[in-house]
Structure 1
Amino acid sequence: MTTSPDFLRWETRFAKPEYEFGKAPNDFLVRCKPLLPVSGKALAVADGEGRNGVWLAEQGLDVTSVDFSPSAQKKASALAAERGVSIRLIEADAHTWAYPYAAFDVVAEIFTQFSTPAERPLKWAGMSRALKPGGLLLIEGYSPMQLQYGTGGPKQIEHLYTREMLEQAFGDFEDLRIVEEERQMREGAGHSGMSAMVNLTARKPRG
């Protein structure tokens, strides 16, 4: 088991009895419901305590929830049982996990901004690899403007997402839509208050 400072910090946050980001799914993810397939496989990247993976399972998808924190995954398992759905839990680092090739119809990455600039391309390359052709990619992250609000997310600007960064990484995807927005967040103690985000929806090229 890794004992890096990053792992220990998150494991400590997730070891508390309360859910750090609440039990309700992310608002952007819920708004993407019309884009979801009626069935298929979904991957929730760095899914933490499972609120988003569990919600995807509630939509009828076969969900794999990956996170490196055993405490988070224990709470994800409890949340799935509470909601009457099942999810596949994999304890792994989002940067080094062996993402299976073309295995998922949906890949969702919601606020996984612990990645350094060197690690982020590894994560995004894995996510792209894991998507089937025509598969749906969903990303939400804090933008640099979030530093003015201080209502959640990393304090290092290099960890935050920009439109240009997403365009460079996924510019070859189809139906690419990137939206910058500010809205009130009410996702547990971890995300609370006016916040600045950038969102992406896109589909992996079929060619």
Structure 2
Amino acid sequence: MNAHEQEHMWSTRYRDAGQDYVFGTTPNRFLAAQSARLASGSNALSVADGEGRNAVWLAEQGLQVTATEISPVALEKARKLAAGRHVDVDFVLADAVAWDYPEAAFDFVVGIFIQFADPVQRERMFAGMARALRPGGHLIVQGYAPKQLEYRTGGPSAVENLYTADLLRTAFPGLEIVHLQEYEDVLDEGVGHKGQSALVGLVARKPAA
């Protein structure tokens, strides 16, 4: 699916939800579990952030946050969420695959359920995310595992877009794995992610220079 088709699909989904937030307004649980790593005053990039729930939460932790998102409808809702929670986020309208990721610009790079990307797009996006990390910075990624196709409680229908621990172990050469697990949990993230789920979580660190 190209960028135009992605934008149309996601904008339609977010628009059809009306005032509701498709994936809720609370942060992803795996991301929130990393709160002890998030040093106040540092900065973070949230990739393909959707309606803002993760970026807003990161800003509430005291970080300066940049969030990319391809859907202008989602960004409008994200800005509303940030205003309601009294935080500032730099929301950027951008295709997460083709965006020009700045080099060594962020202490944290976050990708939560960014599995719209096929393997070719994923390789390009992951390379950009790694490039954007400063030395000593942390990458935080959460995604669905292939068993999710049995649960059908969220995520893509294409198995090649799903993650395994082995895939993530080799996807970021040059980063040191801090935490990597495949596990199951019951998600309650709006109507978009709801129910028993097969998940993968990764925290990796770019070695200090």
Q: TM-score if structure 1 supplies the norm length? A: 0.96
1:170 paired residue number: 172
Contact 2:111/2:141 (<8 A) preserved = yes
Contact 2:177/2:202 (<8 A) preserved = no
Shift of 1:162: 0.9
Q: Residue 64 of structure 2: which of 43, 62, 71 is its match?
A: 62
**Residue 152 of structure 2 is aligned to residue 150 of structure 1:** yes
The unaligned stretches of length 5 or more in structure 2 are: none
What SS is found at the alignment partner of 2:120? coil
- For residues 151-188 of structure 1, the C-alpha deviation after alignment (integer angstroms, 9 at most, x for no partner) is 00001100001111111112532243211110100000
1:44 paired residue number: 46
Contact 1:105/1:132 (<8 A) preserved = yes
**Distance in 2 between residues matched to 1:178 and 1:145, nearest whole Å:** 17
1:13 paired residue number: 13
Q: Percent identity?
A: 49
What SS is found at the alignment partner of 1:132? strand
The unaligned stretches of length 5 or more in structure 1 are: none
What SS is found at the alignment partner of 2:36? helix
**Distance in 2 between residues matched to 1:43 and 1:6, nearest whole Å:** 20
**Distance in 1 between residues matched to 2:178 and 2:28, nearest whole Å:** 20
Shift of 1:3: 6.9
What SS is found at the alignment partner of 2:194? strand
1:27 paired residue number: 29
What SS is found at the alignment partner of 2:119? coil
Aligned ranges 1:99-110 → 2 under 5 Å: 99-110=101-112
**Distance in 1 between residues matched to 2:199 and 2:206, nearest whole Å:** 22
2:84 paired residue number: 82
Contact 1:36/1:136 (<8 A) preserved = no
Given residue 89 of structure 1, which amino acid in structure 2 is its aligned partner?
F
**Distance in 1 between residues matched to 2:37 and 2:126, nearest whole Å:** 20
**Distance in 2 between residues matched to 1:130 and 1:151, nearest whole Å:** 31
CA RMSD of aligned residues (A): 1.2
Q: TM-score if structure 2 supplies the norm length? A: 0.95
